[in-house]
Chains A and B, each alone.
Chain A
């Protein structure tokens, strides 16, 4: 038992800090810290900066242009970048598709698509969920029918995050209705500019069209865009989900959120004293902080086992549930902390580049939107109920 990082890991942390100090544009960290929405260009700018240093794809092996970090190094990267207010790395190409192509893609696919993910040529989005396939992903109905050198794709995807920016979408499509639902699914890469694709925004509780519906009407997709074998897509999808679940605890986001909550509670006044000195409010912060202290260690236990070569199993389900509940509690307390100034609908003011005069203190602006937006945490990536069922079946053997 040793809770300390190694000298090499501490040196890596110091190197990261120095890099962030010099290379993270203040314009971007200001936006992140004040909860303003990031534009597509903001993400692309940050990706390019990291790519210039070889640190954009921490989880990719060096041979594919990644940093080749182990789980502990990735954890340190996550900690330091969130603490510095860096934009998050958009996960679709880097964290999700990249590992699938590296494991199951052809040499041609790897050579074509991987460099384009790194240099930002393609913005990817994820075509998994459908109106009838949420937690029960194997029931996807979007079809791909082979006609000569092409698949003809028909159907609908939904909850496509940032699909409005995307050049490409990776999709689970049904290529066979034989056997179990899992056995007829294929993994297809589709150009978003193809004729027959229509993207419609879905405005969420926070007023923002963060997600979309994507409709496919006789969309022609070249057969070379099939990843791996036909009807084996479920295997690849599951592999992708295990990668989606790294950093699922979101400790960095929770720490940054807690610091922001405390900052606000020091500035807000209640009964003539800083809100943070109100014993009841302080106790509520304390309770979530104590839970976070423990969860951070649970996360390190999983991270350190992963770095030692153990595949994370149902432990990541535990982290998903606890991590999301903690982050949502921090969001709820932050909304509460800003008091009546949670009420103005700040949708317009939060737009990148908005000149609108904010109502109330700056820090109050994003509280409500973030609270609503992060209700998604316990729904996506396998809802917390799905995670509990996984825990019950795999760990508890019920």
Chain B
């Protein structure tokens, strides 16, 4: 048992933290929003150059990391810096490319180099968080598939070069079997995008798919057998997302503690008031719980499906609940200034709140934890 980072990960953490302090600032964030870009291109190039994208993949896949704790280190730092990037999309869509084997190694290589942007097009307007609800269909026509349907809130979709897109090749609407994955260019004919800004920065799009033709070479893995790969990719995505939330919470805590030490009312720093001290202590305790939950998931991604997924739901439930607690407490303890958009807390608050709307919220995962048989 050892809870220290390895030397390599410690170096990655230190380097990334130093880099992000200067590269991921509110100005570059605002510029990306202004340009309707998914990410500040300079930041993205810098991350790729540092090998941050490669850290998310194993050596076999063309990276130099890929373990749960590599995800944890990278995403916690991104969160701490409040950086807005489509790196989670790389974990999800890139993870699916990597699982599909060598056929897509070239594309993955370009993703790791930062020269090709990926998006993950799986969720649909009616699927909410249900992983197997896929109504988009793909039917065979000669050597091609013809795909029709809709995809919802595709993060970075309109800015991506390539999509990893799910569609049903057989089975009923909610069946786990019969789901297939395709890698298709985002500017293919038959794709219609409606691009919009997100509450937490970055962009997403609604996608209408009308007669998209995808060659059989674009199929990832076996036809109809994508469910387990999607579940595994989302498990890794959940680990990344929760680690990012942890970093965001650490940032919110630091900001709030600083504020309590400097803001004076009734003739003294408000941090001297026990009512606020105890709320701050509870915030800290809950963040440590979230850190442990992230460790639990990152250390168990390689275990059996059941054990892994129990930890996915346990961690996502806890982090979602704690994220809300930390956000609301941070705003409350700041008072009026915590309500203003200009102040950094606003960005952290939006990010943390939206964390609960990706890959399943706290209530969803509480139910899923029970459904997985963890309680019985």
Contacts and interface: CB of A to CB of B under 8 A. Distances in A.
A304 B292 CA distance: 13
Contacts of A387: 281
A330 to B, nearest CB: 13
Contacts of B369: 286, 289-290
Given A286-B369, A389-B277, A396-B280, A298 B1 contact: no
A385 B277 CA distance: 10
Interface string A354-398: 000000000000000000000000000000010111011101111
B20 interface: no
Contacts of B366: 283, 286-287, 290
Using C-beta atoms within 8 Å of the partner chain, give the interface range for chain B: 35 or more
Contact of A388 (B277, B295, B317): B277
Contacts of A1: 2-6, 9, 69, 295, 298-299
B199 interface: no
Interface stretch (B34-42, B57-65, B283-291): B283-291
A307 B376 CA distance: 35
A262 B296 CA distance: 22
Interface string A226-241: 0000000000000000
Contact of B284 (A291, A385, A395): A395
B271 A398 contact: yes
A318 B3 contact: no
A294 B289 contact: yes
B140 interface: no
A389 B295 CA distance: 27
Contacts of B288: 298, 318, 322
B304 interface: no
Interface string A59-79: 000000000000010000000
B370 interface: yes
B257 interface: yes
Interface string A179-195: 00000000000000000
Interface residues of A, number: 45
A204 interface: no
B343 to A, nearest CB: 20
B370 A279 contact: yes
B297 to A, nearest CB: 10
Nearest to A398: B271
A22 interface: no
Main secondary structure of the interface of B (DSSP, over half): helix
Contacts of A266: 376
A389 B284 CA distance: 12
A282 interface: yes
A295 to B, nearest CB: 7
Interface in A258-311: 262, 266, 276-277, 279, 282-283, 285-287, 289-291, 293-298, 300-301, 304-305
A369 to B, nearest CB: 25
Given A283-B367, A286-B366, A322-B285, A294 B318 contact: yes
Contacts of A298: 288-289, 291-292
Interface string B258-300: 0011000000010110101110111011001111110110111
B314 interface: yes
B366 to A, nearest CB: 5
The list of the 6 closest CB pairs from A to B, nearest first, reads A392-B277, A297-B292, A398-B271, A388-B281, A391-B281, A3-B299
12 contacts: A3-B300, A283-B370, A289-B375, A297-B292, A297-B296, A321-B285, A322-B288, A388-B281, A389-B277, A396-B280, A397-B261, A398-B271
Interface of A: 1-6, 9, 72, 262, 266, 276-277, 279, 282-283, 285-287, 289-291, 293-298, 300-301, 304-305, 318, 321-322, 385, 387-389, 391-393, 395-398
Interface of B: 1-6, 9, 69, 257, 260-261, 269, 271-272, 274, 276-278, 280-282, 284-285, 288-293, 295-296, 298-300, 311, 314, 317-318, 366-367, 369-370, 374-376
